[in-house]
């Protein structure tokens, strides 16, 4: 018997499989979709069996070493999905399969997950037989043990202390041992306080239920009750004996939502959390596969959960960047959800208070169904947004916190209400700069200035992680005139502590949340009112629901408008609206203060009015004028080279080829990528603006097949890229 195996190796030809012989004693274990261990050169690799090979072979084949799995890990459905993904992203098939599986089931990870079992006991004879044994035996202990089983079917072995008597009862055939797989995560229990849905919520659910579209956009302001709508739709889906997937941007930041789902659905929820251990993830995967969990919540990769009959796929905060994977395969969770929706005849529901321009446009023109929740539940008002012009504030000598924000914070502290402050930049200062010669400290491997972190007294590159001790003397001119420019959350925290000595202040950013569970700790502590002020980066902006927050302040709120990216307006609008939505979620009247340098920018003006529609109308004009999505699609071709010159030459060659092959599309570049050098690689970028993907795919496949990539030279294809 011969089999074709797909392994993860960097051999020029994409998706090439290798044929191996199967020793006769292993033949019975062979099944497509299982993993095998094979010799490869002088290495041993793991790979997936993708076919039984019946072709005659005239060269000598090597034998496989072993079959890893008892049960196949890739099902026919997963093979099909992997092929689809590979085709739309141009990623190697093996990357697609690996991405779909939890770590424990990927090939070549050499991870041994222990399956934990727990031993139980049950009666092995009829109740009559047992009763007559109880009558006849003289042993009090044996009587006591057997009596336990008269009204309980299963008892954990660990619960019975008298092991010697137990052993006798098993030997006599009165009791038997049973083994059950034990999961690492504790069971969740229902703890539901049922809400009565509002008329608006019921209408949305009704429209979704009877509608005939495949995909729906639920556009609902923050706090309008979208989460309750999701749970109700899933209730109905479970009644039909179908399962549901709920995608969230990032689990650690959405634990409040997860808890609400667990309270509502108890142990039917499986959570695929990126910070679970490999064993825990494997257990959740198995619970889903066995049908024990019917609702899967997780980040984008949860879309691959092995559900048999999906009834609905919900994507919360559908506009978030995290639904796009940045490394190969560069897939978007939306596309996978749409594919699965078709396969399972399941509807896809996208939810957001600030939809992406693409989704909103599709909903407006009727490609997606459009559902809307216009007001907050219980008529709570959206917060009042005040704009503070920092040019003016700086003139008065307020550099970090404006007078207006300081006054508002004091007021809320007096009222014992809580405050959130967003500054979307971590570290102490943006960078250090020599006042006498102008020297700045760049990362030696990347084309970017390093950020100063005061707590560790280090300068760090936020791209590659390179860090070096801060110095006092300029390496160029040897004077002691280094000054920090700009500021991040660390400095903001220092400033707040200085100004509000009695306030309890906590910071949440990448630097304070490196440990497992640290997000939840901060969120819970703030939620329990152990702190007065929570400050942080965009991490604090999303999804959180604190009932006592009545003021949100945003520092440098319009900074991100300067990023050279056609989506910078959209992203800024989304972030500011999201964080504003954290204020005044209950009966407290919420207040928001945005500190900006461009108070007249339409993004700032429309955030102030909570007017997504107005923002959309302005933004769409710009997109149309400059021909950007949703008026076209964008593909990026990144040429990544160790050598500066060669990188440019090849980029030019590729760009010329694309221009020739795709005369009906716009081909731009090569340009230097926004961050030109990362980790010692130079990065050039070509862009294609297109309408017809088939044609572009064909051409890019030619590029892919033509160039041999290696250690010094790579080409990355990215459809609908987030970074340029
Ligand atoms: P969103 O997901 O749109 O931000 P949520 O579903 O979190 O909104 O709802 C906001 C708040 O209103 C939550 O505290 C939620 O429990 C509450 N809520 C939602 N729907 C109802 C309802 N029908 N009756 C009472 N409270 C509700
Ligand atoms: Zn670096």
CA–CA distances in Å: residue 201 to residues 207, 224, 246, 374, 594: 10, 9, 18, 10, 31
Asked whether 654 lines ligand 1 (CB < 6 A), one says: no
Q: What average pLDDT does range 664-689 have in this prediction?
A: 90
Asked whether 545 lines ligand 1 (CB < 6 A), one says: yes
Q: Which ligand is nearest to the CA of 445?
A: 2
E-only strand ranges, 450-578 = 451-453, 458-460, 467-469, 482-485, 505-508, 533-536, 549-554
Q: How far apart are CA 401 and CA 393, in angstroms?
A: 9
pLDDT at 663 over 80: yes
Q: How far apart are CA 632 and CA 627, in angstroms?
A: 7
pLDDT (0 to 100) of residue 584: 79
Q: Which ligand is nearest to the CA of 192?
A: 1
Using a pLDDT cut of 70, give the percent of the chain over it: 98
Nearest CA, atom 4, ligand 1: 223
pLDDT at 12 over 60: no
Ligand 1 atom, smallest distance to 224 CA? 3
Q: Which ligand is nearest to the CA of 377?
A: 1
pLDDT (0 to 100) of residue 543: 65
Q: Which residue has the tokens 């923002």?
A: 615
Lowest mean pLDDT among 77-81, 445-449, 521-525, 644-648: 445-449
459 CA to middle of ligand 2, Å? 11
Q: What average pLDDT does range 394-405 have in this prediction?
A: 95
Ligand 1 atom, smallest distance to 197 CA? 23
CA 614 to chain centre: 29
Nearest CA, atom 9, ligand 1: 225
Task: Please classify residue 359 by burial: count the beta carbons closer than 10 Å to its beta carbon, then call 0-12 exposed, 13-18 middle and 19+ buried.
Answer: buried
pLDDT at 554 over 80: yes
Q: How far apart are CA 51 and CA 32, in angstroms?
A: 6
For residues 565 and 674, the answer to whether their CB atoms sit within 8 Å is yes
pLDDT at 336 over 70: yes
366/188: higher pLDDT: 366
Nearest CA, atom 23, ligand 1: 197
Asked whether 351 lines ligand 1 (CB < 6 A), one says: no
What's the number of CA atoms in the CB half-sphere (13 Å) around residue 552? 36
Q: What average pLDDT does range 44-65 have in this prediction?
A: 90
Phi/psi for 370 (5° steps) reads -115, 120
Lowest mean pLDDT among 125-139, 605-619, 647-661: 125-139
Lowest mean pLDDT among 1-15, 237-251, 425-439: 1-15
Using a pLDDT cut of 90, give the percent of the chain over it: 64
C-beta atoms surrounding 106 within 10 Å = 21
- pLDDT tens digit sequence for 221-271: 988 999 999 999 999 999 999 999 999 998 877 888 888 999 999 999 999
Lowest mean pLDDT among 133-147, 185-199, 231-245, 424-438: 185-199
- pLDDT tens digit sequence for 476-532: 899 988 888 889 999 999 999 999 999 999 999 988 988 878 888 999 999 999 999
What integer best gives the mean pLDDT of the chain? 91
Q: What average pLDDT does range 15-19 have in this prediction?
A: 89
pLDDT band at 11 (very low <50, low <70, confident <90, very high): low
Q: Which residue has the tokens 């006849």?
A: 136
What's the number of CA atoms in the CB half-sphere (13 Å) around residue 294? 18
Q: Is 478 helix (H, G, I), strand (E, B) or coil?
A: coil
Phi/psi for 432 (5° steps) reads -105, 145
295 CA to middle of ligand 1, Å? 20
DSSP summary character for residue 197: P
Q: What average pLDDT does range 13-21 have in this prediction?
A: 85
């Amino acid at each position: 018997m011969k089999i074709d195996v797909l392994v993860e190796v960097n051999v020029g030809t994409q998706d090439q499989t290798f044929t191996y012989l199967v020793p006769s004693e292993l033949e019975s274990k062979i099944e497509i979709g299982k993993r095998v261990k094979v010799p490869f050169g002088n290495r041993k690799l793991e790979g997936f069996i993708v076919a039984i090979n019946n072709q005659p072979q005239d060269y000598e084949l090597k034998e496989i070493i072993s079959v890893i799995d008892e049960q196949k890990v890739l099902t026919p459905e997963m093979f099909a999905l992997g092929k689809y993904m590979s085709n739309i992203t141009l990623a190697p098939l093996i990357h697609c399969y690996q991405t779909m599986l939890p770590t424990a089931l990927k090939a070549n990870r050499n991870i041994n997950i222990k399956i934990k079992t727990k031993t139980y006991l049950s009666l092995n004879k009829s109740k009559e037989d047992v009763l007559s044994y109880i009558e006849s035996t003289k042993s009090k202990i044996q009587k006591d043990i057997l009596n336990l089983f008269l009204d309980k079917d299963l008892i954990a072995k660990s619960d019975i202390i008298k092991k010697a008597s137990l052993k006798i009862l098993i030997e006599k055939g009165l009791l038997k041992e049973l083994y059950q797989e034990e999961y690492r995560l504790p069971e969740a229990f229902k703890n539901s306080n049922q809400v009565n849905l509002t008329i608006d919520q019921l209408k949305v659910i009704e429209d979704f239920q009877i509608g005939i579209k495949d995909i729906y956009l639920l556009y609902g302001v923050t706090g309008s009750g979208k989460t309750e709508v999701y749970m109700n739709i899933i209730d109905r889906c479970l009644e039909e004996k179908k399962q549901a997937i709920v995608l969230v941007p990032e689990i650690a930041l959405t634990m409040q939502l997860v808890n609400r789902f667990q309270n509502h659905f108890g142990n039917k929820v499986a959570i695929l959390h990126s910070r679970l251990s490999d064993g825990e993830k494997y257990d959740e995967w198995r619970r889903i596969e066995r049908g024990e969990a019917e609702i899967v919540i997780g980040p984008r990769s949860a879309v691959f959960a092995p559900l048999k009959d999906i009834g609905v796929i919900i994507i919360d905060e559908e506009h978030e960047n995290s639904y796009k994977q940045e490394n190969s395969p560069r897939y978007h969770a939306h596309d996978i959800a749409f594919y699965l929706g078709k396969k399972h005849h399941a509807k896809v529901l996208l939810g957001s208070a600030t939809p992406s321009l693409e989704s909103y446009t599709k909903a407006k023109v009727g490609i997606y169904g459009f559902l809307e929740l216009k007001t907050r539940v219980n008529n709570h008002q959206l917060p009042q947004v005040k704009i503070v012009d920092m040019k003016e504030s700086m003139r008065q000598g307020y550099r970090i916190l404006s007078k207006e924000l300081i006054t508002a914070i004091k007021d809320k502290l007096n009222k014992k209400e809580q405050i959130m402050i967003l500054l979307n930049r971590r570290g102490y200062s943006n960078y250090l700069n020599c006042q006498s010669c102008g020297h700045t400290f760049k990362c030696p491997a990347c084309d970017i200035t390093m950020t100063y972190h005061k707590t560790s007294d280090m300068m760090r590159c936020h791209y590659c992680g390179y860090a070096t001790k801060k110095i006092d003397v300029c390496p160029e001119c040897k004077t002691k005139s280094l000054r920090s420019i700009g500021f991040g959350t660390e400095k903001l925290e220092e400033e707040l502590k200085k100004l509000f000595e009695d306030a309890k202040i906590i910071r949440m950013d990448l630097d304070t949340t490196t440990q497992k569970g640290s997000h939840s700790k901060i969120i819970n502590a703030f939620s329990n009112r152990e702190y007065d002020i929570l400050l942080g980066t965009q991490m604090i902006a999303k999804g959180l629901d604190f009932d006592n927050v009545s003021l949100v302040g945003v520092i440098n709120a319009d900074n991100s408008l300067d990023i050279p990216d056609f989506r910078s307006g959209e992203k800024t609008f989304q972030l500011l609206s999201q964080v504003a939505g954290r204020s005044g979620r209950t009966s407290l009247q919420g207040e928001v203060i945005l500190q900006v340098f461009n108070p007249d920018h339409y993004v700032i003006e429309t955030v102030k009015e909570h007017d997504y529609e107005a923002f959309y109308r302005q933004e769409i004009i710009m997109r149309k004028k400059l021909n950007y999505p949703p008026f076209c699609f964008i593909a990026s071709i990144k040429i990544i080279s160790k050598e500066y010159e060669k990188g440019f030459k090849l980029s030019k060659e590729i760009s010329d080829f694309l221009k020739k092959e795709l005369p009906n599309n716009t081909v731009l570049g090569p340009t230097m990528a926004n961050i030109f050098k990362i980790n010692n690689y130079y990065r050039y970028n070509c862009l294609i603006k297109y309408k017809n993907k088939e044609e572009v795919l064909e051409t890019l496949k030619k590029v892919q097949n033509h160039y041999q990539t290696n250690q010094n030279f790579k080409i990355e294809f990215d459809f609908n890229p987030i970074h340029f």
